[in-house]
Structure 1
Amino acid sequence: MSEMNDLKDYLKRRGVSKVGFADVDGLANEFVDLPNGISLVLKLPKKAMYYIDQEDYKSYWNCFHSKIAELTEISLKGEEYIKNLGYDAFALTMQRNECDMKKLLSILPYKTIATKSGMGWIGRSALFVTPEYGSMVALGGILTDMPLEFGTPITDSQCDDCENCQKACPVGAINPQKWNDRLNREDIIDIDACFEYIMDQYKNGLGCTKCMCECKLTQAYLKGK
C-alpha cells in the first residue's frame, strides 16, 4: 500500500487537513463506475469565526469559497496524480457534483464519503462533524479504481448529550433525534425550514452559521484545545 500512503502524503502536502478512503461501490454510478472514494477534509481558518462574530458575512463567504477553490484544485491535482500511476480517477468537484439548492444536497454527498471513510460523523444539525475541528470544515472527494485500504465507517453519531446546535437554531429545524446511517436526513432536520431561513438571510446579505458556531467541538478547535 505504498502508493496509497504516497497519495495521502501528496494530498496533505497540497493542503488538506485529513484524508480518508471508503468503499463507495454503486454510489457513484451517476458520474462514473469507480468503486473507491477518497475523502478530503479541509479545516476552515479560525479567522472565519471572527468574520461571523463581526457579522461580516461577505468576508466569511469569501473565506469559505476560497477554501472550496483550494479543494477543487487539490481534487483535480489528485485526479491527475492517480492517473499518472495508471489508474482511473474522477475529481468530485462542486461543478461536477451539482447541488440541488432546494434540497441542500449534492448528487453524491461529500459527507457520505467522509463518514464511510471514518473521518467523522453527522451532527444533530446534519452538518459533518470531526473530532478535531467540529463542523468548521469544507469537504471534497475523488473517485477512483486505485486499490485503497478503507477506513472504518462511522455509522452512529459520536455527539454526546450536547444540544447546543439544536438550541441555537433560529427556526427550530433541528430534531432531537441523533444521526445514524439508518435514518433519513428528514429524521434529524427539517430541511425546508432550514432552506427557507437561509435563503432569506442570503437575500439580506447575511447568513446562518449558528449550528456550526455553537458546536462544542467547533468551540474547542477555536480555543485551541
Structure 2
Amino acid sequence: METSIFKEELLAEIQSQGAGFVRFVDISHLNPQQNKEFPTAILIGIALTKAYLRKVAAAPDYVEQMKSKGTIGQDEFHLTELKTDRIADRIQQFLELKGYKAYSQSEDNIQKTGYYDHENRTTPLPHKTIAGLAGLGWIGKHNLLVTKEYGSAVSMCSVLTNAPLPSTWQEPLLSRCGDCNICTRICGVNALKGKNWECGIAREKIVDVFLCTTCFQCVVQCPWTKKYYKSE
C-alpha cells in the first residue's frame, strides 16, 4: 500500500477512536533500550476539558475528596488516561493486522511485558519524551510536558512500530518556564525542586516521584494550563 494512503487510513482509524491529536515521530536515533528497535512512534493525545480543569483548580483537595468518596473511577483524567491507552492497544492490533510489528506503550502492556521499572517508577521511553521530539512542548518544573495550546492538560499514549510512516523529529525545546515557580510553591509535599529542565538532567533534580501525591494542582495552576482553560 502506498505510504500516503496508509497514513491517511491509519489517521482515520485513530481519529475515529477519539484521539485529539496524533504525531508520527522518528525515534530511530534513540538507543535500542528506548525504541525497542522500532523506527517510528505514533503519539496519541487527548486534551482535558476546560470545565474539568476549572473544577479541579477551584478545589485544591480535589484528589483527596475523590479518594475519600471512592470516586476516582469517575474522574475525567483517569477516564481519559484509560481511553488513550485503549486507543494505543487498538492501534497495535490494527498495525499487526496490516502485517507490521507494533508495540503499545499502554500502562497495561508495559507492565505485562516488563517494560516498566516498578522500583524506580520509570520507563525507557516516556510519552513526554516522544512529545518533545515531536516539538509539542517542553518539560516544566513539575517534570510534565507543557504545551503552548493546552499547558499540561493532556493525556498521552504511544505506539512503537516499523510501519512505513512519514516521520520527523527535532531537538527537544528548552524550558520556557523561566523564573516561574508556581508549581514548586504550591506543592504541599515539596516534591518539586524548582529546577528548569535541560537535556541530560537527572529526574531527581526536578522532582522526587516518591514524595509526589499526584494532587494535580501543579497541572491546573500552571500559567500555560490556565491560559487554556480560561480562554473562550
TM bin, normalised by shorter chain, reads 0.7 to 0.9
Q: Within the alignment, does 1:36 sit opposite 2:40 as a pair?
A: yes
The alpha-carbon deviation at position 56 of structure 1 amounts to 4.0
Point out where structure 1 has 5 or more consecutive residues left out of the alignment.
199-206
Does structure 1 conserve the Cα–Cα contact (< 8 Å) formed by 2:48 and 2:155?
yes
Map of 1:150 onto structure 2 = 168
Map of 1:80 onto structure 2 = 93
The alpha-carbon deviation at position 29 of structure 1 amounts to 4.1
Point out where structure 2 has 5 or more consecutive residues left out of the alignment.
none
Match of 2:58 among 49, 53, 61: 53
Q: Within the alignment, does 1:176 sit opposite 2:194 as a pair?
A: yes
The aligned amino acid for 1:70 is K
Percent identity over the alignment is 27
Q: Write out per-residue CA displacement over residues 191-217 of structure 1, whole angstroms, 9 at most, x where no aligned residue.
A: 1xx52351xxxxxxxx51221121111
The alpha-carbon deviation at position 142 of structure 1 amounts to 0.1
Task: Quote the Cα distance in structure 2 between the aligned partners of 1:80 and 1:208.
Answer: 34
The alpha-carbon deviation at position 135 of structure 1 amounts to 1.0
The alpha-carbon deviation at position 70 of structure 1 amounts to 0.9
Q: Within the alignment, does 1:216 sit opposite 2:226 as a pair?
A: no
Map of 2:7 onto structure 1 = 4
Q: 1:5 to 1:181 in 2, by over 3 A?
A: farther
Task: Quote the Cα distance in structure 1 between the aligned partners of 2:12 and 2:196.
Answer: 34
Further displaced range: 22-31 or 94-103: 22-31
Match of 1:196 among 194, 211, 219: 211
Q: Write out per-residue CA displacement over residues 30-60 of structure 1, whole angstroms, 9 at most, x where no aligned residue.
A: 7843221111121122343314634443246
Task: Quote the Cα distance in structure 1 between the aligned partners of 2:108 and 2:40.
Answer: 20
Match of 1:117 among 134, 138, 144: 134
Q: Write out per-residue CA displacement over residues 169-189 of structure 1, whole angstroms, 9 at most, x where no aligned residue.
A: 223332332112221212222
Task: Quote the Cα distance in structure 2 between the aligned partners of 1:195 and 1:117.
Answer: 29
Q: 1:27 to 1:5 in 2, by over 3 A?
A: farther
Tell me the TM-score normalised to structure 1 length.
Answer: 0.81
Tell me the TM-score normalised to structure 2 length.
Answer: 0.79
The aligned amino acid for 1:96 is N
Q: Write out per-residue CA displacement over residues 138-192 of structure 1, whole angstroms, 9 at most, x where no aligned residue.
A: 1100000123321434242233432221222223332332112221212222x1x
| Secondary structure of residue in 1 paired with 2:108 | coil
Match of 1:21 among 18, 24, 39: 24
Kindly tell me the number of residue pairs found equivalent between the two proteins: 214
Further displaced range: 25-34 or 151-160: 25-34
Task: Quote the Cα distance in structure 2 between the aligned partners of 1:9 and 1:150.
Answer: 20
The aligned amino acid for 1:221 is Y
| Secondary structure of residue in 2 paired with 1:140 | strand
Further displaced range: 9-18 or 87-96: 9-18
The alpha-carbon deviation at position 218 of structure 1 amounts to 0.8
Task: Quote the Cα distance in structure 2 between the aligned partners of 1:180 and 1:216.
Answer: 20
Task: Quote the Cα distance in structure 2 between the aligned partners of 1:44 and 1:97.
Answer: 24
